Structure 1
Amino acid sequence: MAFNFDESIDRRHSDSYKWRKYDGRDVIPLWVADTDFRSPPAIIEALRARVEHGVFGYGAPPGELATLFVERMRSRYQWRVKPEWLVFLPGLVSGLNLAVRALTREDMGVVIPTPIYPPFRSAARGAARQQRLAPMALTQGRWQVDLAAIEESMDGTEQLLMLCNPHNPGGTVYRREELEQQLAFARRHNLLVCSDEIHCDLLLEPGARHIPFGSMSEDAEQRSITLMSPSKTFNIAGLGASLAVIPNARLRMKFIAQRSGIVPNVDVLAYVAATAAWRDGQPWLDEQLHYLRGNRDWLAARINALPGLRMALPEATYLAWIDAGRLGVENAQRFFEQAGVGLSAGADFGDPRFIRLNFGCPRALLEQAVARMERAIRELG
């Protein structure tokens, strides 16, 4: 292995949001979605060269970055994206908020799967939009959204369907027929679609294939905003480089107008990192995926051997969605935090029975955290 994912890097005394939450406490943080891996050497070298240049004035998106992204979409997904469709953003969450505000009015509703990454619902809530929550259900080991479950309660004021593919939490990679059902739902109810695809490169299940929502047809293209980023893939989330793919010119202008004077441009170093990631990062990514698969499979075996916990294999992401409903404790996140493991509370995503565990870390750290969880459960019994 050319890259060392077993390397232990001390983040406790850095600016790490993930690790500083438990500053001064003996708690292993496996919650917020960044990894504890050193970013690819190609990115570090590109940043070093840019810093050596020494001038950090206002920056524009590099032409190479757009070219790399367009080629990436063509070669990976057979999606012929045009450079003028791209809107660069300093983070994907801002894209979720802009999509809600640009594509809906206050008297309109937003359809959102649940449980889901919290900023989806906070984007709707912050814009005072009504939410229609479509339940996720575990079917044959995969978490899938049941849009039919809410059709009878819809009143025609809904304007936007928000999707997460791969889904967070749960790690589902939607199949083409599932995406076609989502598109048919959007067409039936005359909905626009915002699809968060930030985890699309982190496919762990052999044979799984990511399909961008907008790539399915011209209709899907014209009614959608697709959000993508190299940030989760290459562990550069703190640099803030994301983009929206908006083929429909009218929707794109509304999106751009909504951000004017509020959402800043992308940082010049973020442009450098994103360009290096998509140009030179694939060998590192291939090895990271191999390492994450090992972590996932090891973790699932250990978790599913514990009384009171159940975990379906995520097809993508480095995030385990663990059912703790039978554990017999009032608050599983607090219970494991007191045992020295910091996890995400399922209530934040929409289901308090669950906890989310980030296994994007060296195996030794993961083993230490799971040993603490096992000990806490034994003592509970």
Structure 2
Amino acid sequence: MAFNFDESIDRRHSDSFKWQKYYEQNVIPLWVADTDFRSPPCIIEALQARIAHGVFGYGFPPPELTELFIARMAERYHWRVQPEWLVFLPGLVSGINLAVRALTGPDEGIVIPTPIYPPFRAAARGAGRRQRLAPMVLNDGRWLADLAAVETELTGVEKLLMLCNPHNPGGTVYRREELQQQLAFAQRHDLLVCSDEIHCDLLLEPGVEHIPFASLDSDAEQRSVTLMSPSKTFNIAGLGASLAVIPNPRLRMRFIAQRSGIVPSVDVLAFVAATAAWRDGQQWLDEQLAYLRGNRDWLRARINELPGLHMASPEGTYLAWIDAHELAVENPQRFFEQAGVGLSPGAEFGDPRFVRLNFGCPRALLEEGVERMAAAVNAG
């Protein structure tokens, strides 16, 4: 490999949110979705050049960034995106909240798969919207949203369906027929769709492809808001470069109006980092994916050897969703934290019987963390 993903970078005494949680504690942080890999050299060099310029006034989206994104969508996902569809954002979570507030009213509801990335349900709660929860079920080793389970409960006040593809947690990459089923559900109930596709480039399973929901057909396009970002892919989440793709001009105007005066513009350095990532970062990404596949495969085999734990193989993301319901412990996250491993509690996603583990780290750190987990499980 040209890039060293085994490199150990000391983040304990940095401004890392991930590592500061356990500052001066003997706990390995494998929780929040932030990898421990050095970002690609092309991004670092581009940022250094921009900083050397020395002036950091208000910026605007570089035309090159728009062109790169449009070309990327066409080449990788066969999705023809128009430049006027793009709304640049300082973070994907703000996009989720804007979508909830722009696309639903105070007395309306949202259909949300669960377990799911916590900001989805937090956005609904924060806006005071009703929630209908569709369970994620394990089907042949893949976590899938069971929309049929919630269909009879709908009352007609529901106006928005939330998707996460690849799904977080669980790592499912939805197939075309599965997305078409979700589109049919949205059509039957006249729902708009917000699709979080932030992990779309992080596909680990050979032969699996990412299909943007909006690319299914013109109807899917016109009823959707798609959220994307290079942040997880290239480990630049702290810079806040994201965007919403909104083909329907009426929905786009509502979305933009909702952000006015509240959600700021994107930082000029974030624009620089995103441009460099999508222009020059492919070789680094290819090697990162190979490394992550190795971590995933090792982790799955090791976790499934441990009594009381089970892990399905994520097709995408660098996040493992570990079933700990057979452990004789009340709180799996606290149990492993006391053993020296910081994991995300499943309760935050919607199921306290699980924990989420971030394997986007050097293998040595991953092995040390999992061996601590093994020691705790076997001691019990």
The alignment's TM-score, normalised by the length of structure 2, stands at 1.00
Per the alignment, residue 248 of structure 2 pairs with: 248
Equivalent-residue separation in structure 1 for 2:345 and 2:64 (angstroms)? 40
Per the alignment, residue 301 of structure 2 pairs with: 301
Per the alignment, residue 185 of structure 2 pairs with: 185
Equivalent-residue separation in structure 2 for 1:60 and 1:344 (angstroms)? 36
What does residue range 115-134 of structure 1 map to in structure 2 within 5 Å?
Answer: 115-134=115-134
Q: Which amino acid aligns with 1:75?
A: E
TM superposition shift of 1:315: 0.1
TM superposition shift of 1:77: 1.1
What does residue range 328-347 of structure 1 map to in structure 2 within 5 Å?
Answer: 328-347=328-347
TM superposition shift of 1:310: 0.1
Q: Which amino acid aligns with 2:224?
A: S
Equivalent-residue separation in structure 1 for 2:207 and 2:144 (angstroms)? 18
Per the alignment, residue 21 of structure 2 pairs with: 21
Residues 207-250 of structure 1, C-alpha deviations (whole Å, 9 max, x = no match): 11000000010000000000000000000000000000000000
Per the alignment, residue 88 of structure 2 pairs with: 88
Per the alignment, residue 316 of structure 2 pairs with: 316
Per the alignment, residue 218 of structure 1 pairs with: 218
Q: Specify the SS of the correspondent of 2:35.
A: coil
Equivalent-residue separation in structure 2 for 1:256 and 1:209 (angstroms)? 31
Q: Specify the SS of the correspondent of 1:110.
A: strand
Per the alignment, residue 113 of structure 2 pairs with: 113
Q: Specify the SS of the correspondent of 2:322.
A: strand
Moved over 4 A (4+): none
Per the alignment, residue 36 of structure 1 pairs with: 36
Residues 166-216 of structure 1, C-alpha deviations (whole Å, 9 max, x = no match): 000000000000000000000000000000000000000001100000001
TM superposition shift of 1:78: 1.1
Per the alignment, residue 276 of structure 1 pairs with: 276
Structure 2 residue 350 is the aligned partner of structure 1 residue 350: yes
Q: Which amino acid aligns with 2:249?
A: A
Q: Specify the SS of the correspondent of 1:183.
A: helix
Residues 291-313 of structure 1, C-alpha deviations (whole Å, 9 max, x = no match): 00000000000000000000000
The alignment's TM-score, normalised by the length of structure 1, stands at 1.00
Residues 328-379 of structure 1, C-alpha deviations (whole Å, 9 max, x = no match): 1010000000000000000000000000000000000001001101111111
Per the alignment, residue 11 of structure 2 pairs with: 11
TM superposition shift of 1:325: 0.1
Structure 1: tracts of 5 or more residues without a match: none
Equivalent-residue separation in structure 2 for 1:214 and 1:374 (angstroms)? 43
Structure 2 residue 367 is the aligned partner of structure 1 residue 367: yes
- Among the aligned pairs, what percent are the same residue? 80
Q: Specify the SS of the correspondent of 2:60.
A: coil
Per the alignment, residue 167 of structure 1 pairs with: 167
TM superposition shift of 1:75: 0.6
Per the alignment, residue 73 of structure 1 pairs with: 73
Equivalent-residue separation in structure 2 for 1:106 and 1:328 (angstroms)? 42
Per the alignment, residue 262 of structure 1 pairs with: 262
Structure 2: tracts of 5 or more residues without a match: none
Per the alignment, residue 206 of structure 2 pairs with: 206
Equivalent-residue separation in structure 1 for 2:186 and 2:198 (angstroms)? 21
- Number of aligned positions between the proteins: 380
